[in-house]
């Protein structure tokens, strides 16, 4: 089954503890620290628009890209009048913009869903292409360490008032692949529940692999920060921000 179809309607409920405000503050500190306090910003893997709308409120003109029509439908429902966020139904592996942007961001380990390193390289090349000269790419990812020691082979269950789920993880250390099998039970009429299952696949990457791919894409690797501490990422960092800059364009050649 395609990911984020039926799950889309439940996504915000089950992600209600996600620290979007904290993450947004950290993304803002990175962008503003590099002189990007306004202008056009694109989010890859925008989902239901939680980060997109926060960055819009912070003063950026936002484009949100996601490959789930159901998720984007919810994002559009959240739009406040006059917000003018442009949501595009596209796969990040082959996204297209109408021109360049000041920054591209991605949160909530969306890049881990790009499980082929060569395809992830294509994503970074596209980012380099669509960024303004010296524009910024900022994204987070779950590290291989996190899959190996925290997520892998764990089972998570949550019982809500109207919906419950069982989240089973299977991690293969040889391929660095993590499979999520998520079974949902959604209350409908009376005491009846509807059951459905989604499969999700993510790949664990290391900071060194991300740096190598960034540089192969022609970008400048700037930094890798532990998302929790904002200190330089280490071997036991579970979620890491990668910061990279566009390289190769100038306004004279565009």
DSSP code for 252:
T
Q: What is the pLDDT of residue 56?
A: 96
CATH number for the region 146-203 comes to: 2.20.25.110
Q: What is the pLDDT of residue 228?
A: 97
Domain positions in the chain: 8-143+206-245, 146-203
**Residue carrying the six token digits 């700037």:** 222
Q: Which residues pair with 136 in a beta bridge?
A: 103, 245
Q: Over the chain (254 residues), what is each successive 10-residue block's mean pLDDT?
A: 56 77 98 97 95 96 94 87 86 96 97 97 98 97 95 80 82 93 78 79 97 98 98 97 92 51
Q: What φ, ψ does residue 39 adopt, rounded to 5°?
A: 95, -170
Tell whether pTM > 0.85: yes
Q: What is the pLDDT of residue 183?
A: 84
Q: Under the phi-then-psi rule, with left for phi > 0, alpha for psi from -120 to 50, and beta for the rest, what region is 12?
A: alpha
Q: What is the pLDDT of residue 34?
A: 97
Query: Who contacts 84 (Cβ-Cβ below 8 Å, separation ≥6)?
Result: 61
Q: What is the pLDDT of residue 30?
A: 98
Q: What is the pLDDT of residue 254?
A: 47
Q: What is the pLDDT of residue 165?
A: 77
- Taking domain 8-143+206-245, whether its CATH number is 3.40.47.10 is answered by no
Is residue 124 within 8 Å of residue 241, measured between CB atoms?
no
HSE at residue 252, side-chain half, CA atoms within 13 A, is 0
Is residue 147 within 8 Å of residue 114, measured between CB atoms?
no
Q: What is the pLDDT of residue 1?
A: 34
What gap in Å lies between CA 132 and CA 246, rounded to an integer? 7
Side by side, the strands of the sheet bearing 177-187 are 155-159, 163-172, 177-187, 193-203
């Amino acid at each position: 089954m395609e990911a984020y179809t039926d799950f889309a309607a439940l996504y915000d409920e089950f992600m209600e503890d996600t620290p979007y405000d904290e993450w947004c503050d950290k993304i803002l500190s990175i962008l503003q620290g590099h002189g990007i306090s306004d202008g056009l910003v694109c989010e890859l893997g925008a989902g239901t628009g939680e980060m997109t709308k926060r960055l819009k409120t912070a003063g950026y003109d936002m484009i949100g890209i996601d490959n789930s029509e159901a998720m984007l439908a919810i994002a559009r429902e959240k739009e406040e009048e006059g917000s003018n966020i442009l949501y595009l139904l596209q796969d990040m592996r082959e996204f297209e913009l109408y021109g360049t942007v000041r920054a591209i961001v991605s949160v909530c380990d969306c890049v881990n869903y790009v499980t082929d390193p060569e395809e992830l390289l294509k994503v970074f090349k596209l980012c380099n292409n669509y960024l303004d000269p010296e524009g910024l790419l900022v994204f987070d990812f779950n590290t291989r360490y996190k899959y190996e020691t925290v997520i892998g082979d764990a089972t998570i269950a949550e019982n809500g008032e109207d919906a419950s789920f069982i989240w089973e993880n299977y991690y293969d250390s040889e391929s660095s692949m993590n499979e999520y099998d998520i079974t949902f039970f959604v209350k409908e009429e009376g005491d009846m529940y509807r059951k459905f299952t989604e499969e999700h696949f993510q790949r664990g990457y290391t900071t060194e692999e991300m740096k190598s791919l960034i540089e192969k894409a022609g970008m400048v690797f700037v930094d890798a920060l532990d998302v929790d501490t904002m200190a330089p990422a280490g071997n036991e960092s579970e979620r890491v921000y990668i910061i990279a800059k566009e390289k190769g364009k100038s306004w004279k050649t565009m």
